[in-house]
Each structure stands twice: as C-alpha cells, then as structure tokens.
Amino acid sequence: MTAIALPRAVSPGRIKIGLLVLALLAGWALPYVAGPFAVATATLALIYGLFALSINLLAGYGGLLSLGHAGIFGVAAYGVGYIASRTEGGYGAQLFWGMAAGLAVSLIFGVMAMRTRRVYFLMVTLAQGMIVYGLAQSLEPVTGAENGLTGVYRPAFVLEDWQFYYLSLAVLAICAGLIQVVVRSPFGLALRGLADSDTRLAMTGYSVVGHRLLGFVLSGFFASIAGILYAYNNEYVSPSVAEFNTSAQAILMIILGGVGTLSGPVIGAFVIVFVQNVLSLQIERWPTVMGLIFILMVLFARNGFVGGVTRLWNRYVRRREEP
C-alpha cells in the first residue's frame, strides 16, 4: 500500500519567503491583467512597501521603532528634486545626491538617537521628522515650500507607468533580498539580540551603540531608495512627503502585514494603498473600512497577516495528523 504523505508544519520563515515569492510572481503578471489605474496604484504600493521594509528592519529586528523615517524618505526625494529642478543635473547626479542626502540625514539622526531608549527614542525620532517637515515648508529657495519642486522627470526607459512599475518591482525585490541577507548575517543576529537584551549583548563584547547606529543607517539606506523612487514616480516633491503621516502609514503597514517579517510590510502596503485609492472612489467613509480591517487583524491575527497565515496552516496540519 502506498503511504499518503501528510502536509508538514511549516516554519514561519518559510511561509514568509513563500508569500513573498507568490507576491512577486503576482506582481510580475499584474500589468498583463490590470488596467493603468491599478498599475499606477500598485507602483505606489511597491514604493511604500519598500519604505515600510526599511522601518521594519530597525523595528521588527532591532526593536527600535522610528517615528521620523519620513524625514529620511523626504530628504532623499528632495535631493533628487533639487538637482533636477534647480541645477538641471543629470540622472547620475540626481541619484548620487538623493542617496547622499538620505544617508547623511540617517547618520545624523542615528547619532542623535542612539543613546535613548523606548519612549525617549520614539520622541527623539518624532522630533527629527518634524524638523525635516518644518524645514521643507520654510526653505523655499531649496524646497519650494508649499509649491514643492517640479521638473523631476523619469528616465527615458521608464516613461510609461507599466515600465516604472517593473522598475519599482525589481528594486523592491533586490532590496528585500539584501535585507534578508542582512537579517541572516552575524550582524543581523546581533541586531535581534539588541531587541531581546542589549545588556546581555554588551556583556558578550558587542558594541550596542555601534550596532544600533549601523542598523539605523542601513534602515535609512533603504528608506532613501524608496524616497528616490517616490520622487520619480510622482515627478514632483512637496512637504507632505516628509510629514508624520507618511511614517505612521508605513508603521500601520508593518503591523497589518506582520512585524519582523519580510513579506508582511509589502502585503500591508498593498492593502492600505489600494483601500485608500480604490475604496475612496467608491465609498465616502473609506477610513471606516480601514478601521474595521485593523480591528479584525487585532482580534484574529495579532501577529499580522503573515503570522495569521502561518498559524492557520499549522493548525490545519495538526488536524490532518490527528488519528
């Protein structure tokens, strides 16, 4: 008699990676089955997904939740916008100064916040983001103030929305792979050790401040890439890119999808962006729908979408294994 192979319980890590692979495959097929509006909305979701991943690297693995990452996101976008509109520099200069500005602000923010903990870390990073937002509104010669910066144009090979969508998808996939490498590296293990007990990690000879600072800068690196993509996608940069609401939305995306997961923030980004951009056209009180989604997640999937899927699958496997 041939034995029937029963499904096995799957580790959360494998489910996370599997969900990410499925999401990337679905993302690749999207422009073939969806219209221009859906493609444009999905592009925005990919960009916010990358931004959420950058915060998740610091919060989900290092236990440091930053409320001011929109400042880094916005500075990188303004770096591109300033070079494009004020100096008419080429794409190489735009990318260089966008990344340089984002990384410089990441380093400054990190040095300022590294010796604080818990609520004080939240307060410092919140203040940092508010400073950037205030400067964006007041430095009119640099930022254009409320009028923003125009004159940002996409490169010729991604002029069409579907082309820029594939570029954003490729960048997200590469960055997600790099984040996975970081998380599984010795540095990533030390970063997770900081979240559990920084005192214990310090006793083993690790530099707590050094690891936190490097984690913050790495997080800012990915946030800067997301900010650059945002600038090219919108072809316009305004102070709203650096406001607190941008950070808050990314944090909600992480919570909805799953804290400390690779696919969760991206899934959360798609849910929130599509609810905002699609339901808002159909339902006047769309924020109510968003609130109901979060209530259901808190009640039935406290570890986010990825954690909920993992728990349901393993429960199904246990039932199949019962005699």
Domains of the chain: 12-321 (1.10.3470)
190 within 8 A of 210, measured Cβ to Cβ: no
Own/partner contacts of 25-32, CB < 8 Å, gap of 24 or more, are: 27/169, 28/166, 28/169, 30/165, 31/162, 31/165, 31/166
DSSP SS3 for 323: coil
Is 100 in contact with 220 (CB distance < 8 Å)? no
Answer for the pair 219, 66: CB distance below 8 angstroms, yes or no: yes
Radius of gyration of the chain (CA): 21
User: Residue 269 phi/psi, 5° resolution?
Assistant: -65, -45
The pLDDT score that the predictor gives to residue 70 is 97
The pLDDT value recorded for residue 315 is: 67
Alpha carbon of 319 to those of 280, 308, 313: distances in Å?
41, 17, 10
Please, are residues 241 and 161 in contact by the beta-carbon 8 Å criterion? no
* 117-138 residues labelled b (16+ CB within 10 A) or e (exposed): eeeebbebbbebbbebbebbbe
Q: What is the pLDDT of residue 196?
A: 72
Question: Coil, strand, or helix at residue 237?
Answer: strand
Per-residue pLDDT reduced to its tens digit, 67-104? 999 999 999 999 999 999 988 889 999 999 999 999 99
Give the position of tokens 């294994």.
321
Strand partners, 149: 237
Query: Could you say which residues of the chain have pLDDT below 70?
Result: 1-17, 19-20, 201, 301-302, 307-323
Strand partners, 237: 149
The count of residues in the chain is: 323
Quickly count: other Cβ atoms within 10 Å of residue 192's Cβ.
16
pLDDT of residue 260: 86
pTM of the predicted structure, to 2 decimals: 0.89
pLDDT of residue 111: 94
